[in-house]
Structure 1
Amino acid sequence: MDYHVKSLDLADKGKLRIEWASMSMPVLNKIKERFRKERPLDGVVLGACLHVTTETAALVQTLKAGGASVYLCASNPLSTQDDVAASLVKHDEIPVFAIKGEDNETYYEHLRAVLDAKPTITMDDGADLVSTLHKERKELLDKIIGGTEETTTGVIRLKAMAEDGVLRYPIIAVNDANTKHLFDNRYGTGQSTLDGIIRATNRLIAGSIFVVCGYGWCGRGVAMRAKGLGARVIVTEVDPLKALEAVMDGYEVMPLEEASRIGDFFCTVTGDIHVIRKEHFLNMKDGAIVANSGHFNVELDLEGLEDVTKEKRIIRDFVEEYTLNNERRIYVLGQGRLVNLAAAEGHPSSVMDMSFANQALCAEYMVKQGSALEKKVYGVPEEIDKEIARLKLESMGIRIDTLTEEQAKYLSSWEMGT
């Protein structure tokens, strides 16, 4: 079996950590039980480009239980948990190509290693696997049934590909499922981002000015958790509706030009490029801490920062100190990559339970329906979304009401009024 991980000596530690995460993933465990019996993915070669974490391990184990031959690489150079990668190779015989801290060249070598397996379904997080496939390995495209995409950034890229008419197979936007973005993006990103910032810096959040750039579901989560820890939260936005919502939620809203002068912590969660630019870095006060929790590190203009920097050093793990030409010091966390995975362990497993349940069930859906779909980006089928929510509630011991016959009739009719 071909693979590339840091060391198989880490495998036993990784196995225990995967077991610990799986304990909080009851929905995915139920799906795994059914997959093991029904084998809906028999014959599928599944190429996955995901964050190689304990939760991802539980997902790929589920996919393998369903009959798929899974090949896995990392979707971010700093998000790999090396012991997990080793465990999947040694204990599950799943080819993994991922090493924490790999350089850009190795990152793309790993993507190509997954594509060498000639996948029939892709499972992406950020769309690097799909875009590399479309650019470099077009001969493989005709055999692909379909794919799934995990994150906001990837969905944006894939919709752009579909709009340009270059997307060659259907893809389900798992990120857009209610049981994904309403929970994973908000509660998962919210908690894990603050976790990453605190682990990297050991600085007190209470009493600080915390600037959140972007008020999508991830930004909502980060703002909520920073406020909960006692920060004064400022939101920056370009969308007037989201900005208005942030105001109504009790946050200050202002342009980044103004916020950059007063913030203690900055975190980007927009999915766009160069949100914090050279002029913003120059505005920041001495000691400002800058992090990114969007998928790619392009949200921070690090080249622009280098242009105005006279000295640089690593002062703590995942903390890089930039001394600017104006003598102020700026601290960038995790090389500007996803701080929740670069400096911490990513989302808690109980929230990834729903996200990865979506991935597993959408892979099954693609096997059954992929040949009938157009070459575009689809939402998660409503029945899958609702089934995952139902299973999650059931696992939590929570029961809900059902409509009476009279209520159902009322909601489906137009005759009855006041």
Structure 2
Amino acid sequence: MGLLRDPALADDGALKIEFAAGRMPVLADLTRRWAESRPLRGQRIAACLHVTTETANLCRALIAGGAEVALCASNPLSTKDDVAASIQRDIGAEVFAVHGCDRETFYRQVAGTLDSLPTLVIDDGADLTATIHNERPELLGEITGGTEVTSTGVLRLRNMAADGALRYPLLPANDAVTKHLFDNRYGTGQNTIDGILRATNVLIAGSTVVVAGYGWCGKGVAMRARGMGAEVVVTEVDAVRALEAKLDGLRVLPMREAAGLADIVVTTTGNRDVITTEHMKLMRDGAIIGNSGHFDLEIAVAELTALATGRRQIRPHCVEYTLPGGNRIILLAEGRLLGQAAAEAHPAEVMDMTFATQALIVRHLAEHAGELAPGVHPVPHEIETEVAQAKLAAYGIEIDELTERQREYLGGWQTGT
């Protein structure tokens, strides 16, 4: 059953899951209510997610709601082996996740999860969805819908829909404000800096940090780096985002100019070849590069490996490459998702909102998927409102409500100057 590094690690994982649960009040309340109402009874859920303590608590909610859950890792370096063992032993999901596995084993884990014959899919990067459509089309008859939690995955799904290839309805959790505004900005911002510090222990203050991409993730990284005393330079291909970075007080340059200034470069674009070996040749000796996009394509790692005249691991998640000219480049976490691989992913307080949103989307799909055509559909606004209100209540925060007169004004058009 499942595929784990060592089931005996479960005791350690259980303590970490319990610690995270205490910081996820919205999801905990949902779990309590679902244990009574069982809105997911009869559903088989295949999930491809980072196997962390926060994901464990999502699995708990889904199983409390009546679902059977099979879980595989969405990134081999983000898996926590002790957490994976506890999810299977204590929570009851079937888990296929081994930290640091090779590509063949990664896709064996994906295949094992799909062998559960899912009716609903939860994806992070669209690997399950793509595998189902490309290699396991026989599963499509049972699957009524799915959801995707990351920007890169949503891009893949929209491209599938545009090509007419997507065969069931998808609700992108990443499009929900309660996900991208908080998870991408505050979660990615914090865990990326955390990953840099754990891997290198460098001083951020006084350094020049180049952030490639000024979407929500890039904004979060830039905000945290600037708050720690770095000079932040942004690179962009989008004119509006570049202008936003400028008006936020940041320097905006093309990568060919920014590369030579950088002490640290972080990619957050969701695209490929953002840092090439041509950029690396322009970097100063000892420049540090890392990626906070979902896939390990943003940094040209294979080309760097081929170009380098020397390679040595100098710290965990920290490999030094020597270029032909003698300059050294420090690559973090193999070019994979830095905050997940070298640190401990998003804080539980942020994932509380993301996974509560995800769980409510799954419930919505279980109840309404038959009404939705194949394609990418917006997340219902009431789901975002429910999560936001619950999170405010957990913080003990009250907000104002519109009066009836205000509602009438906002709904009308005749009152003017």
Give the deviation of 1:374 after TM superposition: 1.1
Q: Which residues in structure 2 correspond to 1:287-298 (within 5 Å)?
A: 287-298=286-297
Q: Distance in 2 between matches of 1:92 and 1:354?
A: 20
Residue matched to 1:77:
76
Stretches of structure 1 lacking an aligned partner (at least 5 in a row): none
Q: Secondary structure at the match of 1:15?
A: helix
Q: Which residue is equivalent to 1:30?
A: 29
Which residue does 1:46 correspond to in 2?
Answer: 45
For 1:200, the aligned partner's letter is: A
**Within the alignment, does 1:415 sit opposite 2:414 as a pair?**
yes
Q: Which residue of 1 aligns with 2:150?
A: 151
Q: Secondary structure at the match of 2:389?
A: helix
Aligned pairs for 1:117-128 within 5 A: 117-128=116-127
Residues 1:277 and 2:276 are matched in the alignment: yes
Distance in 1, matches of 2:242 and 2:23, equals 35
Alpha-carbon distance in 2 for matches of 1:155, 1:296: 13
Partner residue in 2 for 1:247: 246
Q: Counterparts of 1:382-393 in structure 2 under 5 Å? A: 382-393=381-392
Matched with 1:99 is 98
Q: Which residue does the alignment assign to 2:237?
A: 238
Write the distance in 2 (CA, Å) between the matches of 1:151 and 1:242: 19
The residue type equivalent to 1:392 in the other structure is K
Which residue type is aligned with residue 368 of structure 1?
E
How many angstroms apart in 2 are the aligned matches of 1:235 and 1:100? 33
In structure 2, what is the Cα distance between the partners aligned to 1:169 and 1:97?
24
- CA distances 1:83-106 after superposition (whole Å, capped 9, x unpaired): 100101121222100011010000
State TM-score, norm by structure 1: 0.99
For 1:25 and 1:269, the matched residues in 2 are separated by 26
Equivalent residue number for residue 184 of structure 1: 183
State the identity as a percent: 54
Q: Matches of 2:28 and 2:324 in 1, distance apart?
A: 54
Distance 1:132 1:242 in 2: 33
Other-structure match for 2:349: 350
Q: 1:380 deviation in Å?
A: 1.1
2:304 aligned partner: 305
Post-superposition Cα deviations, 1:229-249, rounded to whole Å, max 9, x if no partner, equal: 000000000000000000000
Measure the CA separation in 1 of the matches of 2:89 and 2:57. 15
Matched, 1:13 2:12: yes
Verify the 8 A CA contact 2:262 2:287 in the aligned structure 1: yes
Which position in structure 2 is the counterpart of 1:336? 335
Paired letter, 2:33: R
Give the match for residue 371 of structure 2: 372
Matching of residue 321 in structure 1 with residue 287 in structure 2: no
Equivalent position of 2:56 in the other structure: 57
The one-letter code sitting in structure 2 at the alignment partner of 1:360 is A
Provide the C-alpha distance between the structure 2 equivalents of 1:145 and 1:374, rounded to a whole number of angstroms.
Answer: 10
CA–CA distance in 2 between the matches of 1:21 and 1:379? 29
Please tell me whether the aligned partners of residues 63 and 92 of structure 2 are also in contact (alpha carbons under 8 angstroms).
no
Q: For the residues of structure 2 that align with 1:295 and 1:88, how far apart are their CA atoms?
A: 23
Code of the residue aligned with 2:347 in structure 1: it is: P
| Counterpart Cα distance in 1 of 2:153 and 2:176 | 14
1:322-343 deviations in Å (ceiling 9; x for gaps): 0111111000000000110110
Q: Name stretches of at least 5 consecutive residues in structure 2 with no aligned partner.
A: none
CA separation in 2, counterparts of 1:246 and 1:92? 44
Kindly provide the amino acid, as one letter, of the partner of residue 67 in structure 1: G
Paired AA for residue 288 in structure 1:
A
Q: Name the SS of the counterpart of 1:143 in structure 2.
A: coil
2:64 counterpart letter in structure 1 = A
Q: In the aligned structure 2, how far is the partner of 1:7 from the partner of 1:378?
A: 40
- Matches of 1:268 and 1:351 in 2, distance apart? 21
Q: State the distance in 1 between where 2:87 and 2:75 align.
A: 18
Structure 1 counterpart of 2:88:
89
Return the letter of the residue paired with 1:326: G
CA distance in 2 between partners of 1:174 and 1:93 (Å)? 24
Give the residue type in structure 2 aligned to 1:95.
E
Secondary structure, aligned partner of 2:66: coil
Aligned equivalents of 2:128, 2:196: Cα separation in 1: 28
- Deviation, 1:307, is 2.9
Which range moved further: 102-111 or 84-93? Answer: 84-93
What root-mean-square deviation, in Å, do the aligned CA atoms of Structure 1 and Structure 2 show? 0.6
> Which letter does structure 1 place at the counterpart of 2:250?
Y
1:166-223 CA-partner distances (Å, limit 9, x unpaired): 0000011000100000000000000010001100100000000000000000000000
> Any conservation in 1 of the 2:49–2:74 contact (CA below 8 Å)?
yes
Corresponding residue SS for 1:298:
coil
Name the counterpart of 1:112: 111
Alignment-derived partner of residue 225 in structure 2: 226
> How many angstroms does 1:263 deviate by?
0.1
Q: How many angstroms apart in 2 are the aligned matches of 1:72 and 1:148? A: 14
Shift of 1:114: 0.6
Aligned residues: 417
Deviation readout 1:329-366 (Å, 9 max, x if unpaired): 00000000011011010000000000000110000000
Residue 278 of structure 1 and its aligned partner are, at CA, apart by 1.2
Task: Supply the AA of the counterpart residue of 1:119.
Answer: P
Compare 87-96 and 403-412 and name the one that shifted more: 87-96
What whole-Å deviation, never above 9, does each CA across 1:136-189 have from its counterpart, x for those lacking one?
A: 100110110100000000000000000000000001100010000000000000
Matches of 1:170 and 1:24, distance apart in 2? 32
Task: Look up the match of 1:142.
Answer: 141
Moved over 2 A (4+): none
Partner of 1:209: 208
Query: How far, CA to CA, are the matches of 1:208 and 1:116 in structure 2?
Result: 49
Shift of 1:57: 0.2
How many angstroms apart in 1 are the aligned matches of 2:225 and 2:40? 42
> Residues of 1 paired with 2:359 and 2:242: CA distance?
35
Matched to 1:379, the amino acid is P
Q: Which amino acid aligns with 2:59?
A: V
